[in-house]
Structure formats: C-alpha cells, structure tokens
Amino acid sequence: MQEEAQGRSVLESARIQARRAGIKIHTGLIRTRNPGAALVEEAERIGCEVIYWSTIHAPADEQRIGPTAAYLLGKRPCRVIIETQNRAPLNGTAMPERDLARA
C-alpha cells in the first residue's frame, strides 16, 4: 500500500504541473506485473498522443533506460518521452541533472 500511496502522490504532482503548463493530461494508477504492456494497452485504448515516462522515482534497476522504458520504445504506440536523472559517471566528470530521450 505504501507504493500505491507514493504512486498516487507522484501522479497528483504530475497533474498539478501539467495544469500549470496548460497541458491536458490523463493519469491513472494501474496494478500490473508488466507495466510496459499495460501502458501500451492503455495508450492505445484512449488514443494517447504522448507517453511521458519519468524514471526519477523508479527503483534503482529502472533509473536509466530499464525494461519498462525499453518496452515502451520498442512498441511505441505513440510518441514516447523518457526522463531520467543522471548520476555521476565513474570518471567523476559532471553531467547535467536530467536527460530526455524522445522517440
């Protein structure tokens, strides 16, 4: 239940930010073992124009382009925007805070 509460909080934040920017947004919490497939199915069902996928709140194994993001990019039912938060590389050089991958 804690994960669900956190998910709802993240979605509410996204709704608020989208409204401030004047963007029409559809959010929803989907319980599934395969989030990539569920997102593709939902995007097709509602005629989605773009999927915005942020890995900032994702588990460590999905902080970069993980299995869900890879699935979305592979199936691409519409435009897909993936936001990741960079971590310092092994050589210690600075990197920008966020990367956006668009397809």
Task: Encode pLDDT of 36-62 as tens digits.
Answer: 999 999 999 999 999 988 887 777 776
pLDDT, residue 46, reads: 93
Tokens of 11: 């979605």
Alpha helices in 1-103 (DSSP H): 2-21, 35-46, 67-75
More confident residue, 30 or 57: 30
Neighbour-count burial of 69, counting CB atoms closer than 10 A to its CB (0-12 exposed, 13-18 middle, 19+ buried):
buried
Q: How far is the C-alpha of 6 from the C-alpha of 29, rounded, in Å?
A: 11
Q: What percent of the chain has pLDDT over 70?
A: 79
Tokens of 88: 């310092």
pLDDT, residue 66, reads: 83
11 CB neighbour count, 10 Å cutoff: 14
> What does the CA dihedral 11, 16, 22, 27 come to, rounded to 10 degrees?
20
Q: For the whole model, what pTM was predicted? A: 0.69
Residue 101: which pLDDT band, with cuts at 50, 70 and 90?
Answer: low
How long a stretch of residues is the chain? 103
Q: How far is the C-alpha of 82 from the C-alpha of 36, rounded, in Å?
A: 13
Give the type of residue at 54. S
pLDDT, residue 78, reads: 95
